[in-house]
Amino acid sequence: MVRTENANVRFDILMKQESKEGGGTHYFCECKYRSSMESRTELKSQLKTFLEKALTVIQYMMRKYGRDHFCFLFITTVPFDVWEENLPNIEYLKTLLNGSTMGADDLVALASHIKITIIPKWFITALRRRTEA
Q: pLDDT tens across 41-91, in order?
A: 789 999 999 999 999 999 999 999 998 899 999 999 988 989 889 899 888
Q: Are 59 and 102 in contact (CB under 8 A)?
A: no
pLDDT at 70: 95
How many structural domains comprise the chain? Answer: 1
Q: Is 122 helix (H, G, I), strand (E, B) or coil?
A: helix
Q: Is the pLDDT of residue 36 over 90?
A: no
The pTM of the full predicted model, rounded to 2 decimals, is: 0.86
- CA gap 17, 90 in Å, rounded: 27
% residues pLDDT > 70 (the chain): 97
Q: Which amino acid is at 127?
A: L
Domain range for 22: 2-132
Count of CB atoms situated within 10 Å of the CB of 79:
13
